[in-house]
Amino acid sequence: MNLSNQGSQEWLVKGMHCAGCAGRLEAALRAVPEVAEASVNFATSSARVFWKDGLADAFREEGNRSQRVEKIIVQEGFEVELPPLSASEELRRRAAELCEAARRWKFAVAGFAPLAVWTMGGHFWAASALAAEFPGRVFMEMAVSGAVLFGAGRSILHAGWLAAVRRAPDMNVLIGGGAVFAWFGSVAAWLAGIPAHESSYFEAAAGIVTFALFGRWLELRNRFKAGESIFALAELQPGVARVEEGTEIEEKPLAAVEAGMVIRVAPGERIPVDGEVLVGRTTVDESWVTGESAPVVRGPGQKVVGGTLNGDGALRVRVESAGGQAFLQQVLKIVREAQAGKPQIQKMADRVSGQFVLWVMFAALGTVLGWWLLGAGEHRVQTALLHGLSVFVVACPCALGLATTVAILAGTGRGAQLGILFRNGEVLETLAKVRVVAFDKTGTLTQGRLDVVEWWERKSFEGNLMGLVAAAEKESAHPVALAVVRAARQRGMRLGEASCVEAVPGIGLKAIVDGCQILVGSGLCMESAGVSLPETPAQERELRVWIAVNQEFAGWFRVADQIRAEAREVLAELKRRSVEAVLISGDNAVTAGEVAAAVGISRVFAGVRPDAKRNIVRDLQKGGLLAMVGDGVNDTPALAQADVGIAMGGGTASARQTADVTLIRDDLRSLLDAMELSKKTLRVIRENLVLAFGYNALAVPLAAGVLEVWNGWAPGPVVASAAMAVSSVSVVVNALRLRSFGRRR
């Protein structure tokens, strides 16, 4: 189902502790009548729903349907709030979660550590063994263990109880149930008069909770690291702007800044909004947008982007986009949506983790029955319960739930830092498997603008002819005029004032500059004006733009849409990777063929209309997954048809909105980065799934006591709990490797 263009809404959800929580909530949200699809992400603690189209007006009211969803989230035992408006709020929320998690596990350690020394230290220290025999031992163990279990572990017990009541057991049921069983079992054994050294598992109850809380703190910490790239981007935009109010300057929060307002930006400040410079000239660091470290000059009439860093000049800027419409906020929105999505590879993990807890319960029950019925010795009941408890706490569905989501979190976040916006997580998986890339020509393989590539003038003008022509052309918006003016300014030429400017569409332009009559145009224009041109081959004559001064031939120049400097490098690398490149262009066969030959493309479709581009893409898809790279409105149908549509950052809004991936730095090398990042993210996901499945496949039999049959060793509940915590952290740490993608190249 393609939901990219449907209305959606996102909430932050507190209280999710494992993939089972996310799966249970996701199923509940999908049952809401107004919801077409729901995606709950454990790694980002978020829930996103896509609204159905064609609903009754009552259902389509934002408040009504939003309240329905929020009510479902609360009924499932979670806390809900709308996403924070600023990065600082989000950072404070995450920091508070980390502090609370740290406080809980430190409290648990304060109880468990001395309890562990007290009860288990006798194996190593004689003094500890003597101390453990004093008469009040059981009361002390019961009190300390109870404080850890019912104090620090309160959130686990509460969440586990809610999950059990809703008949949707999750990780909290395993951890909380195991710890409660160990504690109350020890109390019951003491009341029955069984000696403490044979029946007391108070330290196991405290250890299970302690290691579970420590694992969750590490997990939260590393998940925060995986997503810190998105926070780094969000922090680029200031929270306030200084707005002109008549003759006064008032500092306003960005939420109150609207298009049309005029703001002031001091030297060294970050520009808070997208806008146009009215007054002032400065250099601006636009590296997060363009990837170029060198600052660019910005002056009156030029655009600036919110989040970029102003240099040493003061600016007055007219606001064009602010709030949610600003470029940086649009980038953040796309990245958040991508991180909330799920690729196809996660479906298998979701199906497994959805039933995982029930399987573990059956495995634990089978372990108890097996050791009870088949075990030997007078302590076989205690042994059976001990192994069953170990199975209960060693299994870890969290690792399965995090395997995919945390990798997508890290991959899409790193992509945003590199100027690559993935529309959703599924795109990462698809792009990694693409074997054919189709390119548009203009604006994709070429610069998308005309530049002066040849210039010839008679010696009598001594290098001044370009300045005269540029002066005549500087008020024109024609692409040829823009090319000449740009070339003249790059050469530092003075542009005089033109008068009597007269343009003849499709033929040429004439004006008076510095007392000279300037005529610029085609050969037909010159013939009409009676200007004699030198003998030139017909084909070459048509490619040149001719110049006459005071009715005499003065020179000529030629313009062309130049091939991007990086295009040959990118196409060569695609060939090295065994990815076929195809050119699909609306231009004529000669021009398209020249560009294709220059960059190394052998398969060319020329003279293609927009609707035909889509048909060609559809035919090419029969040979495998295909990506289409384009930048214009005419590329939109093909971008939508492709398995992965990729838009150049300098392209039209319609192309960017349709595409699955946007290269905001407008550099074809970003295509290679996007493909490589998608492959590495998919590789990390697969590694994480192997880690998660492998851990559980190995840990459950060991906890059940398989090795005890041969050598008498079994991990026990405390070791099992520690191993469970390590398993979740391992997949997160593995995903963190994606944060360094591209830094060493």
Angle at 10 between CA 629 and CA 345, to 5 degrees: 55
If one compares 573 and 719, the residue with the highest pLDDT of the two is: 573
Indicate whether 182 pLDDT > 50: yes
Angle at 652 between CA 299 and CA 453, to 5 degrees: 65
What is residue 609's three-state secondary structure? coil
- Transcribe 313-342 into DSSP letters: S-EEEEEEE-GGGSHHHHHHHHHHHHHH--
How far CA 422 is from CA of 3, 663, 686, in Å, comes to 15, 9, 19
Of 620, 607, 601, the residue nearest 563 (C-alpha): 601
DSSP tag of 270: B
Active site residue 619: no
Q: What is the mean pLDDT of residues 295-324?
A: 86
Identify whether residues 23 and 33 lie together within a single domain. yes
pLDDT, tens digit, 9 for 90 and up, residues 322-354: 776 777 777 777 666 655 555 566 656 666 665
Q: For residues 726 and 536, give the distance between their C-alpha atoms in angstroms, rounded to a whole number.
A: 78
pLDDT of residue 57: 44
81-95, 326-340, 468-482, 660-674 — which one is most confidently predicted on average?
Answer: 660-674
DSSP H helix total and E strand total for the chain? 29, 26
Residue 722's Cβ-count burial label (10 Å; 0-12, 13-18, 19+) is buried
pLDDT, tens digit, 9 for 90 and up, residues 23-34: 778 888 888 888
Identify whether residues 208 and 342 lie together within a single domain. yes
Indicate whether 87 pLDDT > 70: no
Identify whether residues 442 and 571 lie together within a single domain. yes
**Tokens 């224009």, residue?**
525
Q: And the tokens for 686?
A: 């697969």
pLDDT of residue 2: 46
Asked whether residue 196 is assigned to any structural domain, the reply reads: yes
pLDDT of residue 60: 47
pLDDT, tens digit, 9 for 90 and up, residues 642-696: 999 998 887 777 788 788 898 988 889 999 999 999 999 999 988 988 888 888 7
CATH number of the domain that residue 286 is part of: 2.70.150.10
pLDDT of residue 59: 44
Domain that holds residue 29: 8-83
Q: For residues 359 and 288, give the distance between their C-alpha atoms in angstroms, rounded to a whole number.
A: 48
Q: What is the mean pLDDT of residues 625-654?
A: 85
Asked whether residue 636 is assigned to any structural domain, the reply reads: yes
Identify whether residues 587 and 667 lie together within a single domain. yes
Q: State the CB neighbour count (10 A cutoff) for residue 383.
A: 18
pLDDT of residue 198: 54
Q: Label residue 617 by pLDDT band (50, 70, 90).
A: very high
Q: And the tokens for 542?
A: 């048509």
CATH number of the domain that residue 25 is part of: 3.30.70.100
pLDDT of residue 506: 62
79-93, 400-414, 540-554 — which one is most confidently predicted on average?
Answer: 540-554
Q: What is the mean pLDDT of residues 359-365?
A: 81
- Crossing angle, helix 716-735 and helix 397-417, to 10 degrees? 20
pLDDT, tens digit, 9 for 90 and up, residues 689-707: 888 888 878 888 888 887 7
Centroid of chain to Cα 253 = 26
Asked whether residue 494 is assigned to any structural domain, the reply reads: yes
Identify whether residues 259 and 269 lie together within a single domain. yes
Asked whether residue 381 is assigned to any structural domain, the reply reads: yes
Q: What is the mean pLDDT of residues 473-482?
A: 82
Q: Label residue 477 by pLDDT band (50, 70, 90).
A: confident
pLDDT of residue 404: 79
Which residue among the candidates 440, 561, 660, 666 is catalytic per the annotation?
A: 440
**Tokens 């969803």, residue?**
69
- Crossing angle, helix 154-165 and helix 171-191, to 10 degrees? 110
Q: State the CB neighbour count (10 A cutoff) for residue 242.
A: 18
Q: Is the pTM of this model over 0.85?
A: no
Of 5-9, 119-123, 201-205, the range with the lowest mean pLDDT is 119-123
What is residue 214's three-state secondary structure? helix
Average pLDDT, the chain: 80
Identify whether residues 172 and 302 lie together within a single domain. no
pLDDT of residue 347: 59
DSSP tag of 46: E
Strand residues in 564-613 grouped as ranges (E): 580-584, 603-605
pLDDT of residue 294: 66
Among residues 48, 83, 118, the one where a domain terminates is 83
pLDDT of residue 492: 82
Q: For residues 521 and 232, give the distance between their C-alpha atoms in angstroms, rounded to a whole number.
A: 51
Q: And the tokens for 34?
A: 């107004």
Q: State the CB neighbour count (10 A cutoff) for residue 336.
A: 21
Identify whether residues 381 and 516 lie together within a single domain. no
Centroid of chain to Cα 544 = 47
- Transcribe 223-253 into DSSP letters: HHHHTHHHHHHHTTS-SEEEEEETTEEEEEE
Identify whether residues 52 and 153 lie together within a single domain. no
Query: 644-673: buried (b, 16+ CB within 10 Å) or exposed (e) per residue?
Result: bbbbbbbbbeebbebbbbbbbbbbbbbbbb
Identify whether residues 389 and 527 lie together within a single domain. no
Among residues 265, 296, 325, the one where a domain terminates is 325
pLDDT of residue 558: 87
Radius of gyration, CA atoms only, the chain: 34
Among residues 509, 540, 563, the one where a domain terminates is 563
Indicate whether 5 pLDDT > 50: no
pLDDT of residue 58: 42
Q: What is the mean pLDDT of residues 512-528?
A: 86
70-84, 434-448, 496-510 — which one is most confidently predicted on average?
Answer: 434-448
pLDDT, tens digit, 9 for 90 and up, residues 592-605: 888 899 999 999 99
Query: 387-424: buried (b, 16+ CB within 10 Å) or exposed (e) per residue?
Result: bbbbbbbbbbbbbbbbbbbbbbbbbbbbbbbbbbbbbb
pLDDT of residue 406: 80
CATH number of the domain that residue 451 is part of: 3.40.1110.10
Asked whether residue 3 is assigned to any structural domain, the reply reads: no
Strand residues in 271-407 grouped as ranges (E): 274-279, 282-285, 296-298, 303-304, 309-310, 315-321
Of 203-207, 272-276, 489-493, 580-584, the range with the lowest mean pLDDT is 203-207
pLDDT, tens digit, 9 for 90 and up, residues 97-152: 888 888 988 998 898 888 877 766 544 444 444 555 556 777 888 888 899 989 98
Q: Hey, what's the torsion of the CAs at 535, 538, 539, 541, to 10 degrees?
A: 50
Asked whether residue 415 is assigned to any structural domain, the reply reads: no
Residue 466's Cβ-count burial label (10 Å; 0-12, 13-18, 19+) is buried
If one compares 522 and 581, the residue with the highest pLDDT of the two is: 581
Identify whether residues 653 and 579 lie together within a single domain. yes
Q: How many CA atoms lie within 13 A of 501 on its CB side?
A: 16
How many domains, in total, are found in the chain? Answer: 5
Work out whether strand 552-563 and strand 580-584 pair parallel, antiparallel, or are unpaired.
unpaired
What is residue 305's three-state secondary structure? coil
